[in-house]
Copies of this chain bind each other. A is one copy, B any other.
Amino acid sequence: MSSADEKTYDVVVLGAGSTGENVADVVVRGGLSAVLVEEHLVGGECSYYACMPSKALLRGTEAIAEARAVKGAAAAVTGEQDVAATLERRDSFTSNWDDAGQVSWVEGAGIDLLRGTARLDGERTVVVTGPDGTETRLSARHAVAVCTGSAAAVPPVDGLPDVQPWTPREATSAKEAPRRLLVIGGGYVGCEMSFAWNALGSTVTLLQRGDRLLPGAEPQAGDAVLASLRDRGVDVRLDADVTAARRDGDEVVLTVGTEELRGDEVLVATGREARTTGIGVETVGLEPGEYLDVDDTLQVRGLPWLYGVGDVNGRRQLTHMGKYQARQAAAAIVARARGEEVAVEDWSPYTATADRAATPAVVFTDPQVASVGLTSAQAREAGVPHRVVEYPIGSVAGASLFADGYEGTAIAVVDTSREVLLGVTFVGPAVAELLQAATIAVVGEVPISRLWHAVPAYPTVNEIWLRLLETWRG
């Protein structure tokens, strides 16, 4: 260890995904020095294996469906999607899994980048082993931010690890559609990938352990996505418990109840686990494999110099929430480095309050599911006095103009004591862009009485806001 290169920075960031990049960027803008340590691709899961490629796989199918849903326009859509071109487009969004563009952004932002694997070695110290085996010992004057993210969790099914299942990484980066794709898990990744590969030519079977898809969302969401997947020919099985997996030649064979299902690939999309193994957390008294336990400023409890930001803390595993946490944590790091007071109350510039109160999420299936804040079930569990208001989006003039036979639902959960929105869910074609209005209403705690003045432009789909208010008024 004596031969190791030694360097000191104000802030050492483990992991150069979008979360780590944002932590480093904001602390550097705040006048601190920062180094990013990355063992794989700068830019992280989102850029190469999640949001970007998955949405690129889905967008062509969506655009075609939208044109087909308009009488007059439908006549123009006489051909089929060019799958090779869609895959090529997906590749361009991942820069063909080359991170040169991201690296040049990091350099331009005044952030140092160190390639290699990082592990904590006691307080404020990180040892990096480079690709050539050289070690660098990093000392952090103010903070170490762990932004190592999460990895796909493979459930304890007999034989499953041995069949080399697809994780979301392989599902989003596959070079061609498998003939038969088995999908384990009916959360948003399972639903999106079933939708995408079905449209791109695979015969898809989706196996969901519970009795509903998208179990965390309002039930109308899972029901609508289920109906749509089945309409499109996806074989969706609910209450399907996979008990064993094996390879038979080129085939994957899954045991589900008394049945054997055969496919060419199997995607496991049953959840994530913290990437806290092999990074030395045990040298500072933490448990490898556990999520980092952080407060609202993303500071690890009991270790004021250590921050856990993004997927690694298990609060909200979404790219945009990781970036949000990054901004809040970095602001706290900068303020504390300056000896300034860090306000820890809700909605301060240093707290990730939206993690609890207003996390937006979109499932890019058809229909899309866009939600923010509390669902009706969550409001019930939290014991908040509330009323649920629902309205069919297809009855809004703007929606019927958008697509013939538009079907969708909007669900608002209203706090009846404060008369503010606790949460909103939209289910329907192209509802993703409706969400920000709900997010601002929830985060801004805009009273219902004021929302009446936020007139939706006619005839847009957003007229759903007026219909929800009218339904609320009764």
Question: What is the interface of chain A, defined by CB distance below 8 A to chain B?
Answer: 46, 51-52, 55-56, 59-61, 63-64, 66-67, 69-83, 85-89, 93, 318-321, 323-324, 327, 347, 349, 353-354, 358-362, 370, 397-398, 400-402, 404, 430, 432-437, 439-441, 443-444, 446, 449-463, 465-466
The answer to whether A457 touches B60, judged by C-beta atoms less than 8 angstroms apart, is no
Decide: B77 and A70 in contact? CB cutoff 8 A: no
Q: A401-B56, A443-B450, A457-B320 are in contact. Are A67 and B64 (CB under 8 A)?
A: yes
Contact B73 A88 (CB under 8 A): no
Contact call A444/B433, Cβ cutoff below 8 A:
no
What 6 A-B pairs come out closest when comparing CB atoms?
A: A72-B86, A75-B82, A444-B446, A60-B73, A436-B437, A60-B72
The one of B93, B360, B455, B463 in contact with A456, judged by C-beta atoms closer than 8 angstroms, is: B360
CA distance A463 to B324 in the complex (A): 12
Partner of A446, one of B319, B327, B446: B446
Which B residue's beta carbon lies closest to that of A346? Answer: B453
Contact A76 B80 (CB under 8 A): yes
Additional A-B contacts beyond A60-B73, A72-B83, A433-B461 (15; CB < 8 A)? A51-B458, A59-B402, A66-B67, A70-B89, A71-B88, A72-B86, A75-B85, A76-B81, A347-B453, A349-B449, A433-B462, A439-B455, A440-B451, A443-B453, A444-B444
B454 with A439: CB separation less than 8 A: yes
A78 and B81: CB pair below 8 A?
Answer: no
Closest partner residue, chain B, to A324 (CB atom): B455
Q: What separation, in Å, do the CA atoms of A453 and B401 have in the docked complex?
A: 33
How many copies the complex holds: the figure is 2
Q: Is the CB of B75 within 8 A of A77?
A: no
Q: A59, A85, A436 — which one has the most chain B CB atoms within 10 A of its CB? A: A436
Residue pair A458, B77 in contact (C-beta under 8 Å):
no
Contacts of A93 in B (CB 8 A): 400-401
Q: How far is the CB of A455 from chain B (nearest CB, A)?
A: 5
Cα separation A462 to B80 with both chains bound (whole Å)? 29
Nearest CB in chain B: distance from A108 CB, A? 15
Q: How far is the CA of A362 from the CA of B455 in the complex (A)?
A: 12
Of B82, B401, B444, B454, the contact of A59 (CB 8 Å cutoff): B401
A347 touches B450 (CB 8 A): yes
In the bound complex, residues from chain B placing their C-beta under 8 Å from that of A86 are 71-73
Also in contact, A52 and B459, with CB within 8 A (given A71-B88, A81-B73, A444-B454): yes
20 A-B pairs whose Cβ atoms sit less than 8 Å apart in the complex? A46-B458, A51-B397, A51-B458, A56-B401, A59-B70, A60-B73, A64-B73, A71-B86, A75-B79, A75-B81, A75-B82, A323-B458, A324-B453, A347-B449, A360-B456, A436-B437, A436-B454, A436-B465, A444-B444, A444-B454
The chain B residue with its CB closest to the CB of A449 is B349
A386 to chain B, nearest CB (A): 20
Check A455 against B354 for contact (C-beta < 8 Å).
yes
In whole angstroms, what is the CA distance A450 to B360 when docked?
A: 15
B-chain residues with CB within 8 Å of residue A450 when the two chains form the complex: 347, 443-444
When the two chains form their complex, are residues B79 and A76 in contact, meaning their CB atoms are under 8 A apart?
yes
Q: Which of B63, B72, B327, B443 has a CB less than 8 Å from the CB of A82? A: B72
A469's closest neighbor in chain B, by CB? B327
The residue in chain B whose Cβ has the minimal distance to the Cβ of A47 is B397
With both chains docked as a complex, state the minimum distance between the C-beta of A260 and any C-beta of chain B, in angstroms.
35
**Which residues of B lie under 8 Å from residue A460 when comparing CB positions?**
362, 432-433, 435-436
Taken together as a complex, chains A and B put the C-alpha atoms of A327 and B456 apart, in Å, by 14
A321: B residues at CB distance < 8 A? 455
Q: How far is the CB of A369 from chain B (nearest CB, A)?
A: 11
Most buried by B among A66, A404, A437, A452: A437
A72 touches B77 (CB 8 A): no
Taking a contact as CB atoms closer than 8 A, the residue among B66, B323, B434, B440 that contacts A66 in the complex is B66
State the Cβ distance, A458 to closest chain B Cβ, in Å: 4
A83 to B73, CA, bound (A): 9
Given A63-B73, A73-B60, A461-B433, A320:B361 Cβ within 8 A: no
A375 to chain B, nearest CB (A): 16
Which residue of B51, B66, B349, B370 contacts A459 across the interface (Cβ within 8 Å)?
B51
Q: Measured between C-beta atoms, what is the minimum distance from A446 to chain B in Å?
A: 4
Are B82 and A79 in touch, CB under 8 angstroms?
no
> Closest B-chain residue to A90, C-beta based?
B72
Chain B neighbourhood of A61, CB < 8 A:
73
Q: With A60-B70, A89-B70, A440-B437 as known contacts, state yes or no: A458 contacts B320, CB within 8 Å.
A: yes
